[in-house]
Amino acid sequence: MDENILRGYARLIARSGINVVPGQEVTIAASVEQPAFVEILTEECYLAGAGEVRVDWMYQPLTKLHYRYQSLESLSRVKTWQEEKYKYTVEARPARIHLTSEDPDGLTGIDQAKYAQAQQAVYTVLRPYRKAMENSAQWCVAAVPGVQWARKVFPGLPDEEAQEKLWHAILHCSRADGPDPVAAWVEHSANIHRRCAWLNSLDLRRLIYKSASTGTDFSVGLIPDMLFCGGAERAAIQGVDYNPNIPSEEAFTTPMKGDAEGIVYATRPLSYRGLLIEDFSVRFEKGRVVEVRAGRNEEALRLMTQMDEGASMLGECALVPWQSPIRESGILFYNTLFDENAACHLALGRGYSSCMKDFEKYSHEDFAALGVNDSMIHEDFMIGSEDLNITGITASGKEVPVFVNGNWAEG
């Protein structure tokens, strides 16, 4: 891949993704497979004004070994230095970048129950720090192609060719393969904001989803003061706009906790903790998941909905048109960052308090009282189809077409 193109992508992440404030610290989480791109990204963060850039290296095969050989007690323990690191992050408020490149099947074979119990124990300790970090500073998730990921997306190709092809797909879907990716994102974000403004003008209280081809028949309530958001967001403390996901095609909101009825059928696999959950459905009653079925890894899906009190309720409704450039690429990425932006999706677990109008005025207790779901998880799954129709019900009871045959009802 041409280094100038990669540098443009890195500049997009540094300047449009996290939008570094002069002197701000930056942390990058990345796989050990990606030293070349991390070097470029680090320099671009410094050129954008970062005061210090730190890299946390990850390697998925080591995670698998840890969960195979360590005891549950060991995996569940939060060491003093780990807690101190979280404390420092809350105080310093660095801009955070996460580069995803994991193998979609990379944790196949681990003890999922053991994994879940360890994560629950760790979250109990770290929850206050994660809460304190919400809405306080910029963050961005972007992608770099790992070898195993590239093999999954383009099976049968030599590794180098598969990675090159995945690089091209990532850059194209991220609007980073043109002469000025930053300018392209300014225009793209403005278009998403226009969609959100239309949705917010409707004063919606409910969304009804129906698809004859998949069987989806579902209804979800909305919070009165919750807004549809998308594109660039504002970091409350730093006061700058940033883009948390590159790529992104969605207009999303946080639904009313405990108000969901019906069944939804997934239209793309879900990559969850190194496993692929495929051919699945989720049925809701009185706001909670009461049944899950899957052709592959059903037990992992069931465990997901049992991670804590809020894991069986919804935290996000996201609208993505069938004509999304990611869907039109014809590529199944086996990666939620991309696949969620190819289709309408829902998320189980934690809601986004930043969608609330004037969210800076509210406490965590206020959000809970208003109907924002809380959970240790936030897991998106895709339900969009070519014949998906979404009808909005306004505060006055009027029915408004939102999606017709998979695309926006409003031009």
- The verdict on 22 and 98 lying in the same domain is yes
Model pLDDT for residues 147-167, shown as the tens digit of each residue: 999 999 999 999 999 999 999
- The band of 236, judged by pLDDT with boundaries at 50, 70 and 90, is low
- The verdict on 336 and 400 lying in the same domain is yes
Supply the DSSP symbol for 356: B
CA–CA separation, 37 and 10 (whole Å): 8
**Percent of the chain, pLDDT > 70?**
99
CA–CA separation, 312 and 288 (whole Å): 5
- The verdict on 255 and 396 lying in the same domain is yes
- The band of 362, judged by pLDDT with boundaries at 50, 70 and 90, is confident
CA–CA separation, 291 and 52 (whole Å): 48
Bridge partners (DSSP) of residue 56 are 29
Supply the DSSP symbol for 343: S
- The verdict on 214 and 191 lying in the same domain is yes
Task: Give the burial class of 406: count Cβ atoms within 10 A of its Cβ; 0-12 exposed, 13-18 middle, 19 or more buried.
Answer: buried
pLDDT for the residue numbered 358: 87
Domain, as residue range, for 164: 3-173
Bridge partners (DSSP) of residue 380 are 347
Q: Report how far apart, in Å, the C-alpha atoms of 369 and of each of 261, 289, 364 are.
A: 21, 21, 9
Residue 161 CA from chain centroid, whole number: 28
Answer whether residue 135 shows pLDDT above 90: no
**Percent of the chain, pLDDT > 90?**
89
**Does residue 401 contact residue 287 with C-beta atoms inside 8 Å?**
no
Residue 198: CB atoms within 10 Å: 16
pLDDT for the residue numbered 290: 98
Answer whether residue 378 shows pLDDT above 80: yes
pLDDT for the residue numbered 273: 82
- The verdict on 138 and 238 lying in the same domain is no
- The band of 128, judged by pLDDT with boundaries at 50, 70 and 90, is very high
pLDDT for the residue numbered 42: 98
Domain boundary (173, 206, 226) is at 173
pLDDT for the residue numbered 59: 95
- The verdict on 289 and 154 lying in the same domain is no
- The band of 1, judged by pLDDT with boundaries at 50, 70 and 90, is confident
Model pLDDT for residues 347-360, shown as the tens digit of each residue: 999 999 989 988 88
Answer whether residue 237 shows pLDDT above 80: no
- The verdict on 323 and 345 lying in the same domain is yes
Answer whether residue 259 shows pLDDT above 80: yes
Model pLDDT for residues 267-315, shown as the tens digit of each residue: 999 988 888 899 999 999 999 999 999 999 999 999 999 999 999 999 9
pLDDT for the residue numbered 156: 93
Amino acid at 247: P
**Does residue 245 contact residue 100 with C-beta atoms inside 8 Å?**
no
Answer whether residue 317 shows pLDDT above 90: yes
- The verdict on 195 and 322 lying in the same domain is yes
Degrees (nearest 5) of the Cα angle 108, 110, 114? 145
- The verdict on 274 and 151 lying in the same domain is no
pLDDT for the residue numbered 136: 81
Tell me the three state secondary structure of residue 266.
coil
- The verdict on 57 and 116 lying in the same domain is yes
Average pLDDT over residues 6-34: 97
Model pLDDT for residues 189-204, shown as the tens digit of each residue: 999 999 999 999 999 9
- The band of 411, judged by pLDDT with boundaries at 50, 70 and 90, is low
Q: CATH code at 148?
A: 3.40.1830.10
Domain boundary (173, 190, 222) is at 173
Q: Report how far apart, in Å, the C-alpha atoms of 19 and of each of 54, 138, 360 are.
A: 16, 7, 20
- The verdict on 266 and 158 lying in the same domain is no
Q: How many domains does the chain have?
A: 2
CA–CA separation, 175 and 231 (whole Å): 13
What is this structure's pTM? 0.92
- The interaxial angle of helices 60-69 and 112-133, nearest 10 deg, is 120
CA–CA separation, 281 and 259 (whole Å): 18
Q: Please provide the average confidence, as pLDDT, over all residues in the chain.
A: 95
- Lowest-confidence segment of 10-14, 41-45, 347-351, 353-357 by average pLDDT: 353-357
- The verdict on 118 and 189 lying in the same domain is no
Domain boundary (173, 207, 238) is at 173
Phi and psi for 128 in degrees, rounded to 5? -60, -35
Length of the chain: 411
